Amino acid sequence: MKTALPWLLLPLALFGIWLGIDLTDTHLMVRYEPNTALDQWCDVNATFDCTAVARSKYSHISLGEGRADLPVSLPAVGFFAVLALLGAMAGLAANEEKRRKALALAGLVLVPALLFSVYLLGVQAVLGTWCIKCLLMDSAVIGSFVVALLAHGGGLKGLMGDLKPAQTGLIITAVVTGLIINGLYYSSFSDKVAVAEAKAAALDEGDTASADGEGTKIEDLPEAEQQKIREQLQEILEQARAAVGQFYADYSTFPTREFGKNSFDGLKGATDAKVRVVEFADFECPHCQMAAPQIKDIMERYGDKVELVFKNYPLGKKCNDEMTRDMHPDACGAAVAVQCAGRQGQYWEMHDTVFMKARNGDSVNTRNLKKYAATVGLDPNEFEACLTDDSAWEEVRLQVRDGRKAEISGTPAFFVNGVQMPSPHPTFVEAAIRRELLAQGITDLPVDEDRVFGN
For position 2, what pLDDT does the model report? 56
State whether 279 and 180 are in the same domain. no
C-alpha dihedral sign at 330, 335, 340, 346: positive
Decide if pLDDT at 213 tops 50.
Answer: no
71, 67, 77: which is closest to 15 by C-alpha? 77
State whether 189 and 272 are in the same domain. no
Q: Is 148 exposed, middle or buried (0-12, 13-18, 19+ CB in 10 A)?
A: buried
| Low-confidence winner among 60-64, 217-221, 343-347 (lowest mean pLDDT) | 217-221
State whether 172 and 289 are in the same domain. no
The whole-number average pLDDT for the span 178-206 is: 78
The whole-number average pLDDT for the span 317-341 is: 91
224 pLDDT band, cuts 50/70/90, is confident
β-strand partners of 269 = 307
State whether 16 and 146 are in the same domain. yes
Nearest 5°: the CA angle 226, 231, 237 is 125
Specify the 3-state DSSP secondary structure of 414: strand
For position 328, what pLDDT does the model report? 87
Tell me the Cα Rg of the chain.
Answer: 26
The count of domains in the chain is 2
For position 218, what pLDDT does the model report? 59
Among 194, 216, 245, where does a domain finish? 194
For position 210, what pLDDT does the model report? 37
For position 206, what pLDDT does the model report? 44
Residue 418 lies in a domain: yes
The residues, any chain, with a CB within 8 Å of residue 402's CB and separated by 6 or more, are 259, 260, 262, 280, 311
State whether 188 and 302 are in the same domain. no
The whole-number average pLDDT for the span 183-210 is: 69
State whether 10 and 136 are in the same domain. yes
Pairing label, strands 60-61, 266-269: unpaired
State whether 136 and 274 are in the same domain. no
Residue numbers of the domain that contains 120: 5-194
Decide if pLDDT at 212 tops 60.
Answer: no
431 pLDDT band, cuts 50/70/90, is very high
Mean pLDDT of the chain: 87
207 pLDDT band, cuts 50/70/90, is very low
Q: Which amino acid is at 206?
A: G
Rounded Cα distance between 31 and 13, Å, is 27
Rounded Cα distance between 169 and 182, Å, is 20
Chain Cα centroid distance, residue 308: 26
Instruction: Give the phi and the psi of residue 139 in degrees, each rounded to 5.
Output: -65, -40
Residue 241 lies in a domain: no
State whether 190 and 270 are in the same domain. no
Instruction: Give the phi and the psi of residue 277 in degrees, each rounded to 5.
Output: -105, 125
Instruction: Give the phi and the psi of residue 145 in degrees, each rounded to 5.
Output: -65, -40
State whether 299 and 185 are in the same domain. no
Q: Number of helices and strands (H, E) in the chain? A: 15, 7
Decide if pLDDT at 387 tops 90.
Answer: yes
Residue 68 lies in a domain: yes
Residue 204 lies in a domain: no
Residue 234 lies in a domain: no
Question: Cβ of 381: how many Cβ atoms within 10 Å?
Answer: 8
Decide if pLDDT at 198 tops 60.
Answer: yes
Residue 246 lies in a domain: no
216 pLDDT band, cuts 50/70/90, is low
Decide if pLDDT at 214 tops 70.
Answer: no
Nearest 5°: the CA angle 29, 30, 33 is 50
The residues, any chain, with a CB within 8 Å of residue 353's CB and separated by 6 or more, are 372, 375, 376
Specify the 3-state DSSP secondary structure of 130: strand
Decide if pLDDT at 306 tops 80.
Answer: yes
Rounded Cα distance between 66 and 214, Å, is 9
Rounded Cα distance between 332 and 315, Å, is 8
Specify the 3-state DSSP secondary structure of 173: helix
Give the CATH number of the domain where residue 410 resides.
Answer: 3.40.30.10
Decide if pLDDT at 95 tops 80.
Answer: yes
The whole-number average pLDDT for the span 299-320 is: 95
Strands (E), 231-325: 266-269, 275-281, 306-312
Residue 300 lies in a domain: yes
Task: Tell me the pLDDT tens digit for each residue of 242-283.
Answer: 999 999 999 999 999 988 899 999 999 999 999 999 999 999
The whole-number average pLDDT for the span 287-313 is: 94
Q: Is the peptide bond before 286 cis (omega within 30 degrees of 0)?
A: no
State whether 46 and 188 are in the same domain. yes
C-alpha dihedral sign at 19, 22, 25, 27: negative
Contact 143, 26 (CB under 8 A): no
State whether 170 and 280 are in the same domain. no
| Low-confidence winner among 33-42, 60-69, 211-220, 333-342 (lowest mean pLDDT) | 211-220
| Complete DSSP assignment for 19-34 | HHHHHHHHHHHHHH-T
Residue 239 lies in a domain: no
